A and B are shown apart, each in its own frame.
Chain A
Amino acid sequence: MSVKLNTRQVGDVSVVDVAGRITLGEGSSAMRDAMRELVSKNQKKILLNLGEVSYIDSSGIGELVSGFTTVTNSGGQLKLLNLNKRVKDLLQITKLYTVFDVHEDEASAIRSFA
């Protein structure tokens, strides 16, 4: 599998640890399914830990945007954690870096949820 996802709860925050490649196909589909499942379970605070993401393409970025929109429209918050240089550069190039609330430390990310 190109991507591995592990969801854990830290208080009322769902932390999704993502590892691997978020690319068109298996990777982006898995991301989409994971976020939809959390929203369907009425999870309002979602933190995507992208520290182990080795690669993301435009489809993967699309899924991040889609997830953000879905979570936000359901009254929740989606935040990002541990972006590596590659992912950060991509979000900056596409002017999405300021759309997302990005954190480098899990504890402070958890505290930042309203």
Chain B
Amino acid sequence: MRDNEHRVTQTLDSRLESVDSAEQIAVGAAQRAGFEDDDLMKIGMAVREGMVNAVVHGNRYNDKKKVRLSVAHDAEHLQVTIADEGDGFDFEHLPDPLAPENLMATSGRGIFLIRSFMDEFRMRHLDPAGTEVTLVKYLVSK
């Protein structure tokens, strides 16, 4: 991030309500950054999917575990990081939801949708525990 960066950081509970809160924070920041309606929808959806993964799969609704949300924007892009305190998972070998054998699966599309809607998506294991995802959207999409 550069000059004129605006950042909001929040620690959220591992509840579904936090998914709504994170979406509102991210979409609000994206609006202020100047993103248009179609991108606002994509950002909101991607953040929701990232938060659901953190709350449901990472922290497993454990009220002792938190989700750290950081939303930053500057003149060129919006960056959202979501960090959980879960046990982590093997994100290097995720099933492909578009593969014929997975097409009719009832779950497993969240990360795929994040990648579809955002310009950059990164995941990393946290030490000692947890997973952090970073979602980036450029104001003029790459």
Contacts and interface: CB of A to CB of B under 8 A. Distances in A.
Contacts of A88: none
Contacts of B97: 94
Given A58-B110, A58-B113, A63-B106, A95 B98 contact: yes
Interface string B105-142: 11101101100100000000000000000000000000
Interface string A90-114: 1001111001000000000000000
A22 interface: no
A96 B41 contact: no
B56 to A, nearest CB: 7
B38 to A, nearest CB: 9
B75 interface: no
A24 B109 contact: no
B56 A24 contact: yes
A62 B49 contact: no
Nearest to B97: A94
B48 A65 contact: no
Contacts of B41: 86
Contacts of B98: 94-95
A65 B106 contact: yes
Contacts of A94: 97-98, 109, 112-113
Nearest to A2: B20
Given A24-B52, A68-B104, A69-B104, 8 more contacts: A24-B56, A57-B45, A59-B52, A61-B109, A65-B106, A94-B113, A95-B98, A96-B103
Interface of A: 23-25, 57-59, 61-63, 65-66, 68-69, 86, 90, 93-96, 99
What are the nearest 6 A-B pairs in CB distance? A62-B106, A58-B109, A66-B106, A25-B16, A58-B110, A62-B107
